[in-house]
Amino acid sequence: MAPIAVDTPKLGLARPLKPESSRTKAVMYRTVDPSPVAVKTDNIYVTFEDGSVVIDAMGGAAVSILGFGNQTVIQAVKDEMDRCGYIYAGFYSNSASERLASFLIDHSEGDFAGVNFVGGGSECIESCLKLAKQYWWEKGNTTKRRFIGRKMSYHGNTIAALSVGWHPIKRLPFASLVNEDMFSWVSAAHYVHDGQPGESEADYATRLADELDAEIRRLGPETVAAFVFEPMVATSIGAALPPKTYFTKIKAVCDKHDVLLVCDEIMCGMWRTGKMFTYWRIGEGVKPDLVATAKALGGGYVPIAAVFASPKIMDAIHNGSGIWNNGFTYTSFGVSSAGALAVQKILVEGNYTDKIYALEKQIGATLRRELAGLDDFVADIRGLGLMWAVEVKAPGQKDFKPRLGARVQQRALELGITVLGMAGVREDGDGDIAMICPPAICTEEQMDTICTILAQAVKDVRAEVGAEGLAEVGAA
């Protein structure tokens, strides 16, 4: 391993030790490897039971937008717990959820008329699919039942959410559970990966819109309920934006065939990129029919997700059956709503748009400066707001064990920050990324530390790959 250029002890960080820890086998996690047990959080730092500390540069899973320990949010959660406990939404509403819904709708610039609160992102996507289906049913159309998603996308782990998404690794071993009559997929929309030589971004967007049009016609427009996509693709490609003119062109196709537009902003929404919704920044004025949000909505203080429904959808329900035929035990849980309202008020009233735009500039500039000249290993640096990815490459990278993304993640952790390493962000299984989604409360100095360490981890893995002779770095 190449020498460590970042002096982690000076930064007050220490690497988590291999845990001789209190971790039991009783809690089932994604990995069977024992990982350190966190015992304390504060600001942007996580402390483990061996005393080591890391910066959570990933904000958990792009969740902790205000970092840890915000006393206003904590107090709001405690107060609501004292004031009004669990109320079953099948019987009554509750004042905290009423306040949160009013606040969100008031700040949605007329795009939405209703909001439905559920527990997490996957539930939220399931609810969007059902609401899209119910919209057509309310209109007397019972044939529209199919959903078109996009390749290299992730919408959650429940079966329908997994089905409308498409990612070879995430689907294993569940691919056979997907009902291929109900779900189909068009190409991912990422110019860096899939634009053809000589093709402009606009031409590429036209090609993608033509493909969607052809897919709807193949299935029969009378059977297609909705097109579902991530305006900014989260972990499946890594902070990936669509080509210019994409929104306008796919919206025209959806309108032509009476197909609803559903945006999954679970990871990129609720101020992650500086605005309440990412489509407000990159959506070319297009208004979706339904938007799924979660993560930064509750900021990690409470589990909550929200379906935003446009006036068109709400009118169809109100003028139709009047009943939204979907609910969960924890729908509209007041304590979660109170926490989310506190988070959202801080983001709205605290001038976070400007702050996030400034941090966005800093992240882009720092990563590009620190990784300049490494084009033999750094395939792309991309991002918006507080969601960024460094894509790395090496010849034969698919066969690397561990994969490059995992190596950067591990190295970054050794240097004191949590980043997310992902493998297979290109359809052919190539492509590795390291992602950060840092909290919006980061100071300039903290952000500098995060970006410098991430860049150092990338450089160290590049050196390691060269030294191992697995491939000749630079031959790509």
Ligand X SMILES: Cc1ncc(COP(=O)(O)O)c(C=O)c1O
Tokens of 114: 């209703």
Touching ligand X, residues 176-215 (CB under 6 A): none
Report if residue 156 touches ligand X, rule: CB under 6 A: yes
- Of these, 4, 37, 61, 314, which contacts ligand X (CB under 6 A)? 61
The residue whose Cβ lies closest to ligand X is: 121
Query: Which amino acid would we find at residue 191?
Result: Y
What the block records as the tokens of 29 is 């996690």
Of 234 and 346, which has the nearer Cβ to ligand X?
234
CA distance linking residue 366 with residue 289, whole number of Å: 37
Q: How far is the CB of 62 from ligand X (least distance, A)?
A: 7
Residues 6 or more apart from 106 whose CB is under 8 A from it?
Answer: none
Residue whose CB is less far from ligand X, 416 or 439? 439
Nearer CB in complex with ligand X: 13/241: 241
Distance from C-alpha of 457 to C-alpha of 238, rounded to nearest angstrom: 17
Taking the complex as a whole, the smallest distance from the CB of residue 335 to ligand X amounts, in Å, to 18
Closest CA to 237 of 177, 168, 163: 168
Measured from the CB of residue 293, what is the shortest distance to ligand X in angstroms? 10
In this complex, which beta carbon is closest to ligand X, that of residue 266 or of residue 378?
Answer: 266
Which residues are CB-neighbours of 203 under 8 A, at least 6 positions away? Answer: none
Q: To the nearest whole angstrom, how small is the minimum distance from the Cβ of residue 35 to ligand X?
A: 18
Task: Write the binding mask 99 to 138 for ligand X: x where contact by CB under 6 A, - elsewhere.
Answer: ---------------------xxx--x-------------
Count residues binding ligand X (CB under 6 A).
15
Residue 230 interacts with ligand X (CB under 6 A): yes or no:
yes
Binds ligand X by CB under 6 A, chosen from 131, 152, 234, 260: 234
Q: Show the binding pattern over residues 334-373: x = contacts ligand X (CB under 6 A), - = does not.
A: ----------------------------------------
Q: Under the criterion CB under 6 A, does residue 4 sit at the interface with ligand X?
A: no
Q: Are strands 183-186 and 146-150 parallel, antiparallel or unpaired?
A: parallel
Say whether residue 238 binds ligand X (CB under 6 A): no
**Among residue numbers 16 through 35, which ones bind ligand X (CB under 6 A)?**
none
Residue identified by tokens 């782990």 is 157
What's the Cα-to-Cα distance from 173 to each of 154, 157, 194, 395, rounded to whole Å? Answer: 15, 12, 27, 28
Q: Is 155 in the site for ligand X (CB under 6 A)?
A: yes
Amino acid at 286: V
Report in angstroms how near the CB of residue 61 gets to ligand X at its nearest: 6
Q: Cα 368 to chain center, whole Å?
A: 23
Q: Which one of the spans 132-140, 151-159, 314-322, 377-385 is the region binding ligand X (CB under 6 A)?
A: 151-159
Work out whether the CA dihedral 234, 237, 239, 240 comes out positive or negative: negative
CA atoms of 154 and 390, how far apart (whole Å):
19
Site for ligand X in 255-314 (CB under 6 A): 264, 266-267, 294
Provide, rounded to whole angstroms, the least separation between the CB of residue 379 and ligand X.
22
Report the C-alpha gap between 412 and 458 in whole angstroms: 8
Shortest distance, position 324 Cβ to ligand X, whole Å = 20
In angstroms, what is the minimal distance from the CB of 420 to ligand X? 10
Closest CA to 41 of 441, 335, 435: 441
Q: Given candidates 68, 154, 330, 333, which one binds ligand X under the rule CB under 6 A? A: 154
Residue 374 in contact with residue 332, Cβ under 8 Å? no
The residue behind tokens 């159309």 is 141
Rounded CA-CA distance 352/360 in Å is 12
Instruction: Count CA within 13 A, CB hemisphere, residue 79.
Output: 13
- What does the binding site for ligand X look like in residue numbers (CB under 6 A)? 61, 120-122, 125, 154-156, 230, 234-235, 264, 266-267, 294
